[in-house]
Structure 1
Amino acid sequence: MNQELTYPIGTPGIPWTQPEKSQWLAQQTIKRSYQNEVVVHIDSLRAQFNVEQYGKLNYKSGPYALYAITSKKFDLNKPTVLITGGVHGYETSGVQGALRFAMRHGVDYLADFNLIIAPCISPWGYETINRWNPVAIDPNRSFVPQSMSPEAAQIMAYVSNLGLAIHAHIDLHETTDTDNSEFRPALGARDGQEQEIWQIPDGFYTVGDTQNPQDAFQRAVVKSVEQVTHIALPDNEGKLIGSPMTQHGVINYALKDLGLCAGFSNARYTTTTEVYPDSETATPEECILAQVAAVIGALDYLRQQG
């Protein structure tokens, strides 16, 4: 439903200008360490993978080096799979799930795939537990030409420069209670527009592409995750976050039209995972394992397709 939400910055109905954005930024603080919680794990993978710095974010609390973990040698006869996490830095299991997959299971798939893993696209967002970057831009609405988000622009440039066709793209996300309590009210204030508030789904679900849904692929991801954690059920209208369910645990978005990460790679198979870390019946570790299971389910499906 549409709802006029209150937010402590700005005037309702009037979009933010630079003073409001600066006020918002001044309220953000570092809450955890990208170096200690992410980079150290990336460094531990150098024996098995190629670890490459593909970019840098020159923010005041940085600079933040941006890393990709890849197969040591790309084979043009193998399909290439892109795994992204931390597009929204506050979505912890997306980052840690990408890393956990790489650390515990990645080598098991090198014989069949070229792997490209970008575990934390938004490290400032990770450290401040934020959806936006420091200039109040949502990276996951910014995967568009001439992107204003350096987080989005740099990973897009890196993947493009590799010159590889991306066969599948798995983008790891969370849906949290703070989506309704903080981030959608902030969005409404920033844009001066009413925002819809939805019931937060309790459980895992995936987002496919409206133009290329790949139903069997999504089903394989959900089936794999179902062994680890519960799958979100529809609300009273048969929807998840305002969108009709197309099958158990699956909704579709127009990925490219919305500028979402999973849409930029032009992959044949795409999925955006969503876990619910605030569930009373799920732990942070379970959410990480759900992300790992999603990646494994996707890769096992692709492996079976040959």
Structure 2
Amino acid sequence: MQYTESYPIGTPGKTWGETERLTWREQTTVKREYQHEVVPKIKALGNRFIIEQYGALSYDEARYPLFCIKSKNWDSSKPVVLITGGVHGYETSGVHGAIKFMDTRAEKYQQHFNFIAAPCVSPWGYETINRWNPNAVDPNRSFYQDSPAEESANLMKLVSTLGDILVHFDLHETTDTDETEFSPALSARDGVSYIECSIPDGFYTVGDTDNPQPDFQAAIIESVAKVTHIAPADEKGDLIGSPLVQHGVINYPMVKLGLCGGVANCQYGTTTEVYPDSPKVTDEECNDAQVAAVIGGLDYVIGHR
């Protein structure tokens, strides 16, 4: 492991204050547009699903409305499936994979489930290709009461209206920029030394330490393996510093860490991690891997209810 203090913002060993956070925010730029790339895809599903606005980000409420896609014929006797994407806005296939599943596959499963998808939880992060929100806060560490991230607070408010959720798919990516930008920035923000970590080459899932559901995770891995390669463990038997508990799977304590994967208190939950920087995959194959993950999980649940 190599320790480095080279991040250009802040003073090594000191946590960021408002000056550093503002400096960080001012160096961000819009690289793609939520209103052009995401919102039209969501609204195009309005003839087949209910499209609801569940909030808006105060940074620019007109630019960043938050939408969810719901089953049109909601049936209180059916279990609920929640799909979230873009909690980290830069993780592109989480956003477009969620939309693609709703567009191409959800109706096949509506005899079994009610669906609700929030495809782009963090649209500012989507536009600036960032892990954090404008306040240098990570929404995916902020799912707890009195959240400092309004992206997380808006989603928690939505989830609180849904009743019991049986299945939750939180769609993510692990990218090379996690090590070249986002992890060094995190270490600088928090005033700690950055320790290099290898990026897994392939897809994996993160289960909940307190409710791991290994057979459910295995069904997802088997389904995704038909689309893209599964990440092998590193030389220590780990993925991103966590022990590999089964093929393609690590576990985190979802609620303790404030992760979106713990927001639903569901029976079956997974956080998917696509690897978009592999030369072996295209952008569309990354979207397809997210769809395959949802399909594999749903097929497992149907067969074990």
**For this structure pair, what is the TM-score category when the shorter chain's length is used for normalisation?**
over 0.9
What TM-score comes out, normalization by structure 1 length? 0.97
Deviation at 1:76, TM superposition (A): 2.1
Note the 1:86-235 alignment, pairs <5 A.
86-162=86-162, 164-235=163-234
Q: Deviations over 1:44-89 (max 9, x none)?
A: 1111111000000021595310000011232222110100000000
Tell me if structure 1 keeps the 8 A contact 2:33–2:127: yes
Tell me if structure 1 keeps the 8 A contact 2:159–2:263: no
1:50 corresponds to which residue?
A: 50
Gap regions ≥5 residues in structure 1: none
Deviation at 1:298, TM superposition (A): 0.8
Tell me if structure 1 keeps the 8 A contact 2:202–2:228: yes
Distance 1:60 1:81, change over 3 A: closer
Tell me if structure 1 keeps the 8 A contact 2:84–2:121: yes
1:289 corresponds to which residue?
A: 288
What TM-score comes out, normalization by structure 2 length? 0.98
CA distance in 2, matches of 1:195, 1:152: 26
Tell me if structure 2 keeps the 8 A contact 1:176–1:200: yes
CA distance in 2, matches of 1:50, 1:39: 14
* Alignment: residue pair count: 305
SS in 2 for 1:169: strand
Tell me if structure 2 keeps the 8 A contact 1:208–1:271: yes
Distance 1:269 1:2, change over 3 A: farther
Identity of aligned residues (%): 58
1:38 corresponds to which residue?
A: 38
Deviation at 1:195, TM superposition (A): 3.0
SS in 2 for 1:170: strand
Deviation at 1:270, TM superposition (A): 0.7
Tell me if structure 2 keeps the 8 A contact 1:84–1:171: yes
Q: Deviations over 1:151-174 (max 9, x none)?
A: 000010011023x20101100000
CA distance in 1, matches of 2:99, 2:203: 19
SS in 1 for 2:38: helix
CA distance in 2, matches of 1:63, 1:203: 34
Q: CA RMSD in A?
A: 1.1
CA distance in 1, matches of 2:211, 2:274: 22
- Name segments (4+ residues, structure 1) moved above 3 Å: 60-63
Deviation at 1:117, TM superposition (A): 0.3
CA distance in 2, matches of 1:32, 1:299: 32
Gap regions ≥5 residues in structure 2: none
What is the letter of the counterpart of residue 296 of structure 1? I
CA distance in 2, matches of 1:48, 1:209: 33
CA distance in 2, matches of 1:62, 1:88: 20
